[in-house]
Structure 1
Amino acid sequence: MKKVFLMASAVLMLSFLAVDPISKKERSYAAKLLKETEKGVKDQVKGLTEAQLKFKPAPDRWSIEECVKHIAKSEEALWQMTESAIKATANPDKRSEIKVTDEQLVQKVEDRSMKIKTMEKLMPENIPFKDTDEALESFKKNRDKLIDYVKSTEADLRNHVTALPFGMVDSYQMILFIAAHSNRHTQQIIEVKADPNFPK
């Protein structure tokens, strides 16, 4: 009986010592940002006509449909990149190379004053979704999975560090990047709708 009691006490002590890989506050912040930015995309597209979805403000600018296709395909590509970093060996020694806070990263990605050319496979003309509805369906499915992941993962996201063009980030920040990226292009959709020639 004494042995059983000692074992139970040891298990209890270890459970108190176990550290959540990301804090409750971090989980909440990421999930909230993912939900809000998903809603932002859906709200801006809701009720638009085919003419409105396909309207291009200029030959070299994207239509709303093209923005949505890019958002949906990027959601897949960015998560694949993040998942690869999480599955790789943890590299906490690289944390010192991270120069942005979570908030700074979100602001940087959402800032449309900084123009960035996307990679070829994420250009709308190279994305296989047949229309806005199909792209939105893919986006929602992948975003819902990501929100569930953030709420439940036990992965040590902070100690899996990867390189982006502007510097090193950890895997938790990559999830914030995904959310902020969709908001960046929601702003682009709003810009298209504000064009004086946008169909009524």
Structure 2
Amino acid sequence: MKKAVYGVLALLLLSFMPAKQGLNNADKELVVTEMTRTSKKLLKKIKGLSEAQLNFKASPESWSVAECVEHIAISETNIFGAVEKALKTPVDTSKKSKSTITDDEVMNVMLNRTNKIKAPETFKPSGKFGSHKETVKAFLSKRKENIKYAKKTKNNLRGHYAQMAFGTLDGVQLMVFIAAHSERHTLQIEEIMSNKNFPNK
């Protein structure tokens, strides 16, 4: 009899426990797929480049390939900081109706290289990692952490928001933004490499 009572009590307690949130399968797949795809694209583009190629600048004020990679590595951490900041605010599903930007539009806005954006000082390359090799290593380490976070988090990212220059993004869209940002600057690297004066080796 006691066992039966305990069993009923256990079921009642479970029914009142909050359901785990986290990312649903579609959101998880979106973030993990984009982060994986864009990191592979960057690595493929910079593989085998010489020092001369990595440090070539089309003009004195423009960035080199190495500087673009450093900017990506810095941003991988800094932009995730916006996710962490958003999570410190209460869940507010009412903001969803005010957010007009879609997940696809986050990618499209970032990949439109006609819209030039000046990087804040804290995002600018300064040689902080010591070498190109260490820069790539730092990027891959943080990207791995971000992918793991997307897979394992119990946070309801769709319920937390951050205001960006082009709209209000929820937490999932901020993760997509991180991936799109790295691809944006991979496209910049392609532009540098297409310059007629880019070294052959």
Identify the residue that residue 3 of structure 1 maps to in structure 2: 5
1:69-108 CA deviation, whole Å, 9 max, x = no partner? 1000111110112111112322323222211011111111
For the 8 Å contact 1:21–1:158, the answer to whether it is kept is no
Instruction: Measure the CA separation in 1 of the matches of 2:92 and 2:16.
Output: 25
Normalising by structure 1, what TM-score? Answer: 0.91
Identify the residue that residue 192 of structure 1 maps to in structure 2: 192
Match of 2:163, SS?
Answer: strand
Identify the residue that residue 168 of structure 1 maps to in structure 2: 168
- Per-residue deviation at 1:11? 5.8
- Per-residue deviation at 1:112? 1.0
Match of 2:168, SS?
Answer: strand
Instruction: Measure the CA separation in 1 of the matches of 2:38 and 2:31.
Output: 11
- Per-residue deviation at 1:130? 2.0
Runs of at least 5 residues in structure 2 that lack an aligned partner in the other structure: none
Identify the residue that residue 131 of structure 2 maps to in structure 1: 131
Instruction: Measure the CA separation in 1 of the matches of 2:21 and 2:78.
Output: 27
Q: How many residues align?
A: 198
For the 8 Å contact 1:92–1:161, the answer to whether it is kept is no
- Per-residue deviation at 1:153? 0.5
Instruction: Measure the CA separation in 2 of the matches of 1:111 and 1:18.
Output: 39
1:118-170 CA deviation, whole Å, 9 max, x = no partner? 1122122x452222111111100100000000001010101111101112111
Identify the residue that residue 148 of structure 1 maps to in structure 2: 148
Identify the residue that residue 108 of structure 1 maps to in structure 2: 109
Identify the residue that residue 41 of structure 1 maps to in structure 2: 42
For the 8 Å contact 2:82–2:162, the answer to whether it is kept is no
- Per-residue deviation at 1:10? 3.7
Normalising by structure 2, what TM-score? Answer: 0.91
For the 8 Å contact 1:102–1:176, the answer to whether it is kept is yes
CA RMSD of aligned residues (A): 1.8
- Per-residue deviation at 1:186? 0.5
Identify the residue that residue 92 of structure 1 maps to in structure 2: 93
Instruction: Measure the CA separation in 1 of the matches of 2:19 and 2:194.
Output: 51
1:51-74 CA deviation, whole Å, 9 max, x = no partner? 000001122221100100100011
Match of 1:73, SS?
Answer: helix
One-letter identity of the residue aligned with 1:42? L
One-letter identity of the residue aligned with 1:5? G
- Per-residue deviation at 1:19? 5.8
Alignment map for 1:4-19 (pairs within 5 Å): 4-10=6-12, 18=19
- Per-residue deviation at 1:38? 0.9
Larger displacement relative to structure 2 (94-103 or 150-159): 94-103
For the 8 Å contact 1:70–1:127, the answer to whether it is kept is no
Instruction: Measure the CA separation in 2 of the matches of 1:143 and 1:159.
Output: 23
Larger displacement relative to structure 2 (126-135 or 165-174): 126-135
Percent of residue pairs identical: 34
Confirm whether residue 31 of structure 1 aligns to residue 55 of structure 2.
no
Instruction: Measure the CA separation in 1 of the matches of 2:187 and 2:75.
Output: 16
Larger displacement relative to structure 2 (147-156 or 111-120): 111-120
